[in-house]
Amino acid sequence: MVPTTTMIRDALATYLSQKGMSINQFSGQSGINSGTLSRILSGQQPIAMDHLERITKAMDLPEDYFYSLYVDECFYYSSPTWRRLRPFLVRSAALGRLDCVEQVVQNLLENLTYAPMLFEVAEGLFQEGLWQAAELLYKNVSASEKYQNSERLAVCQYRLFRIAIGDDQTRNLQAAHLFECYLDRLDEADQLDGLKHL
């Protein structure tokens, strides 16, 4: 189901109007302070991830219903902040919304100072077994650091190698060739593990 409005605020205002609800009533239903709701509706306050979750739940919609619009909220209707984007990335990954992960990453990597933060999120997703989302982040961080001789680039390539290993021997061989030249840039523990998998 795709939202038909262009902004989350529009959808909320329409919902309140259709239900004949006041901001105070919706405040009670969502658990969001009425003053905060009022500022959100008037565009004076950005929508935090916690607010998005509460609004969506109070409107009885699927959890990821507004996720595509939230990307716009984070980049076009307010300044991007890591405090909002990190939990959004993690939750999008958990719900399998790789489209949203991709959009956020593409927007963030216009500013390369976000690469280390995205790498940390990728490491967390990798540890949690959310390998598809982690792969997407590792590939983008790698692309942003391809001209640097960094350990982070080597770790990205190592994780991509680990993710690629499967039953297809041809694909495994390709992954091994791509990873092999990064092996000596890893720390000792990862080098040993990498050699074992190679």
pLDDT tens for 155-172 read 889 899 899 888 888 887
pLDDT tens for 7-66 read 899 999 999 999 999 999 999 999 999 999 999 999 899 999 999 999 999 999 999 999
What integer pLDDT is reported at residue 38 of this predicted model? 94
63 touches 56 (CB < 8 A): yes
Average pLDDT over residues 138-149: 83
What integer pLDDT is reported at residue 198 of this predicted model? 66
Confidence band for 6, pLDDT divided at 50, 70 and 90? low
Q: Which CATH superfamily is domain 1-79 in?
A: lambda repressor-like DNA-binding domains (1.10.260.40)
> Greater confidence, 69 or 168?
69
pLDDT of 5 above 60: no
User: Which of 37-46, 172-181, 184-193 reaches the highest mean pLDDT?
Assistant: 37-46
> What are the sequence ranges of the domains in the chain?
1-79
Full-model pTM: 0.85
Q: Kindly report the CA angle at 11 between 6 and 14, in degrees rounded to 5? A: 125
Through-space distance between the first and last CA atoms of the chain, rounded to whole angstroms: 43
Alpha helices per DSSP H over 42-81: 49-58, 67-75
